[in-house]
Amino acid sequence: MGTSTATKANYQPALEKLLTRFGDQASTAESVRDHHGHGEGWFPTNPPDLVVFAKSTEDVADAVRICAEHKVPVIPYGTGTSLEGHLNALEGGVSIDLSQMDEVLSVNAEDLDCRVQAGVTREQLNEHLRATGLFFPIDPGANASLGGMTATRASGTNAVRYGTMRENVLGLTVVTADGRIVKTGGRARKSAAGYDLTRIFVGSEGTLGIITEVQLRLYGIPEAISSAVCQYPDLESAVNTVILTIQSGIPIARIELLDDIQMGACITYSELEGYEAKPTLFCEFHGTEASVQEQAEQVKAISDEFGGSAFAWTSKTEDRNKLWKARHDAYFAAKTLAPTKKGMATDACVPISNLAECILETQKDVQESGLIAPIVGHVGDGNFHLVLLFDPDDAEEMKRAKGLVERLNHRAIAYGGTCTGEHGIGIGKMPYLTAEHGEAISLMRALKKAFDPDNIMNPGKMISV
Mean pLDDT of the chain, nearest integer: 94
Q: Please state at what angle helix 355-369 crosses helix 395-414, rounded to 10 degrees.
A: 170
State the CATH number of the domain containing residue 61.
3.30.43.10
Question: Same structural domain for residues 216 and 108?
Answer: yes
Last residue of a domain, one of 192, 220, 248: 220
Answer yes or no: is 10 within a domain. Answer: yes
Sign of the torsion formed by the C-alpha atoms of 448, 450, 451 and 452: positive
The last residue of a domain, from among 165, 196, 220: 220
- Asked whether residue 434 is assigned to any structural domain, the reply reads no
Of 62, 139, 138, 57, nearest in space to 98 by CA: 57
Coil, helix or strand at residue 5: helix
Mean pLDDT of 344-361: 95
Residues 11 and 85 both lie in one domain: yes
Q: Is residue 406 in some structural domain?
A: yes
For residue 282, the surrounding DSSP H or E stretch is: strand 280-287
Question: Does residue 446 fall inside a structural domain?
Answer: no
CA atoms 134, 139, 141, 147: torsion sign: negative
Is pLDDT of 189 > 90?
no
Cα gap 41→81, rounded to integer Å: 8
Which is nearest to 409 in space by CA: 397, 420, 422? 420
CATH code of residue 402: 3.30.70.2740
User: Among residues 298, 301, 282, which one has the least CA distance to residue 290?
Assistant: 298
Q: What is the CATH number of the domain that holds 144?
A: 3.30.465.10
Q: Residue 291 — φ and ψ, nearest 5°? A: -70, -35
Please count the structural domains in the chain: 4
Q: How confident is the model at residue 1 (pLDDT cuts 50, 70, 90)?
A: very low
pLDDT at 58 over 80: yes
167: enclosing H helix or E strand? helix 165-168
The rounded distance, in Å, linking the Cα atoms of 105 and 108 is 10
Residues 213 and 232 in one domain: no
Which one, of 108, 54, 57, lies nearest residue 77 by Cα?
54
**456 within a domain of the structure (yes/no):** no
Q: Is residue 443 part of a domain?
A: no
- Predicted confidence at residue 5, as pLDDT, reads 52
On the 0-12 / 13-18 / 19+ scale of CB atoms within 10 A, 288 is exposed
Same domain for 109 and 215, yes or no, is yes
Mutual angle of helices 430-437 and 440-451, in 10-degree steps: 120
In this structure, the number of other CB atoms found within 10 A of the CB of residue 110 comes to 6
Residue 267: is its pLDDT beyond 50?
A: yes
- DSSP conformational letter for 222: P
Q: 2-29: per-residue pLDDT in tens?
A: 555 556 678 999 999 999 999 999 999 9
For 27-68, the DSSP string reads E--HHHHHHTT--SSSSPP---SEEEE--SHHHHHHHHHHHH
Structure confidence by residue, pLDDT tens digits, 197-210:
999 999 999 999 99
The whole model's pTM is what? 0.94
Single residue among 45, 66, 99 that ends a domain in this structure: 99
Residue 293 lies in a domain: yes
Same-domain check for residues 303 and 407: no
171 and 253 housed in the same domain: no
Taking the C-alpha atoms of residue 302 and residue 276, their distance in angstroms, rounded to an integer, is 21
Residue at 431 is within a domain: no
Contact yes or no for 233/278 (Cβ under 8 A): yes
Q: Give buried/exposed letters for 180-192 (b at 16+ CB in 10 A, else e).
A: ebeebbeeeeeee
Q: Cα separation of 348 and 331, whole Å? A: 16
**Residue 25 DSSP class:** G
User: Is residue 204 a contact partner of residue 426, using CB atoms and an 8 Å limit?
Assistant: no
Cβ atoms of 44 and 71 within 8 Å: the answer is: no
CATH code of the domain in which 310 resides: 3.30.70.2190
Task: Give the pLDDT confidence of 112-145 residue by residue, as tens digits.
Answer: 999 999 999 999 999 999 999 999 999 988 899 9
Tell me the residue range of the domain where 379 lies: 338-425
